[in-house]
Amino acid sequence: MKARWGAPAEQLERDHPAWELEAGYIALAMQAIICTLTPQRIILGGGVMDADFLFPIIRQKTVEKLNGYIQAAEILEGIDEYIVPPGLGAHPGIFGGKALAQLAADN
C-alpha cells in the first residue's frame, strides 16, 4: 500500500480511498476461494487485516460479488461468522503451531 498510496497502511485514515479498493481486492479473492474450495470458514489475518474496520466492508463486497450464486446460509445469513479475524491474536501461526504440537504430544 505504501508504494501505491505513498504511506504505509497503518498511517492511512479510515476514510482514505485505499481501504475501499483494498476491500474490493480481498472480496474478489474471497469470491474465488468460496467458489473454488467451499471452505467452512475463512480466517483473514496479518498486515492489512490489522485494520479491523475492513471486515464489514469485505463481507459486504464478498456477498455482492457472489451475486446470489452461492445460496449457503453460512454466507447469506452468517457472513459475520464466516469471514473472521484469527482467534489467536497477532501471532496465529506460532500459537497454532504450538497448539498442534501439544495436541500431537498428548496423543
Domains and CATH numbers, the chain: 2-106 (3.30.420.40)
Rounded to 5 degrees, φ, ψ at 33 are: -65, -45
List b or e across 59-72, with b for residues whose CB sees 16 or more CB atoms inside 10 angstroms.
Answer: bebbbebbeeeeee
Rounded to 5 degrees, φ, ψ at 42 are: -120, 125
d(CA 35, CA 46): 23
Per-residue pLDDT of the chain (107 residues; tens, 9 = 90+): 899 999 999 999 999 999 999 999 999 999 999 999 999 999 998 888 888 899 999 999 999 999 999 999 999 999 999 999 988 776 777 887 888 899 899 88
DSSP notation for 33-92: HHHHH--S-EE--SGGGG-TTHHHHHHHHHHHHHTTS---HHHHTTHHHHEE--TTTT-H
